[in-house]
Amino acid sequence: MRRLVAAALLWAVASTCAAAEEILAIPTRSGVTLSYLVVQDVSASPKIVLISFVGGFGVVNLARRSEKGPLSFGPEANFAVRILNLMADADIADVVVDVPSDQLPDGMSDDFRLGANHLADIRALIAELRKRFPNAKIYLLGHSRGTVSAASLGARLGTEVQGVILLSTITVRDKHGVALSSFNFTTLRTPVLFVHHRNDACPQNPYTNVARLSKSAASFSLISVSGGDPPQSGPCDSASPHGFFGLDAAVALGMKGWMLGRDFPREIH
């Protein structure tokens, strides 16, 4: 494992702990490296490691960001990175995955997210994380197009992971790919949490599809979201209901409750 930053740790302030941010990279396939960001409370041993996949084409540009000093993600950043310091605490370490080196600079297509090379990369990452966090459960999280990664990997990894969170699930194909339009969600054998805004206006992410899917297996749960701040972006971007804009803390708390086996809200508004 090699560090991509000169300093070992970059410090940020979370809601409940001093969260250390660390950018790392590992070799996965031949000639390919995978960069990822770990945010954790280094004074604790997390019960859960959450592996998060951003939307769009999955590009986080961790190496480039590390050159500019401590990481900073604005309000229009993808929801999965915007909530990093809300998710990381004594119980949960959050890991954000970047695009593997052979998919830069353009990012991951749906075919790649659904394919064998993506699975090989994430298996290598999970093996590395299990060395670092041997007693932690592994959960996958995807937002928007990141749900293609989280769902497809969750199905193929089976009991190698303990749960999957799908935020603003993309169920309608578009010009960029098939998304999860033909995915068989019943192949997910671990618990699944859907989180979706009732007023998500992105055409590829209708709430009605997710409400129906959430009833297709006893191990599926749904948190329905409404309200939030007025949109400051397009309907498929993160500063809108699609990205739970204005509701970061409430949505993060709901997801944490579900992962930790605590009471969690079925409605957030």
End-to-end CA distance of the chain: 42
- Rounded percentage of the chain residues whose pLDDT exceeds 70: 88
> For residues 118 and 74, what is the distance between their CA atoms, to the nearest angstrom?
28
Q: In the chain, which stretches have pLDDT less than 50?
A: 1-17
203/205 Cα distance (integer angstroms): 6
When the pLDDT of each residue in the chain is averaged and rounded to a whole number, the result is 90
pLDDT for the residue 63: 74
Helix 146-157 and helix 116-132, axial crossing angle in degrees, nearest 10: 80
Supply 36's token pair.
């990822």
91-105 burial string, b = 16+ CB within 10 Å, else e?
bbbbbbbbbbbebee
Domains of the chain by start residue, with CATH: 2-268 (3.40.50.1820)
Instruction: Report the pLDDT value the prediction gives residue 93, as an integer from 0 to 100.
Output: 98
Confidence (pLDDT) at 74: 64
Q: What value, to the nearest 5°, has the Cα angle with vertex 243 and ends 65 and 52?
A: 55
Beta-bridge partner residues of 193: 165, 221
Question: pLDDT of 170-184, one tens digit each?
Answer: 999 999 999 999 999
Per the CB < 8 A criterion, the answer to whether 144 and 170 are in contact is: yes
| pLDDT tens per residue, range 115-166 | 999 999 999 999 999 999 999 999 999 999 999 999 999 999 999 999 999 9
3 state DSSP class of 27 = strand
pLDDT at 77: 81
- Under a CB-based contact definition with an 8 Å cutoff, are residues 90 and 41 in contact? yes
Q: Is the peptide bond before 70 cis (omega within 30 degrees of 0)?
A: no
- Residue 6, Cβ density class (10 Å: 0-12 exposed, 13-18 middle, ≥19 buried): exposed
Q: In whole angstroms, give the CA distance from residue 109 to residue 265.
A: 33
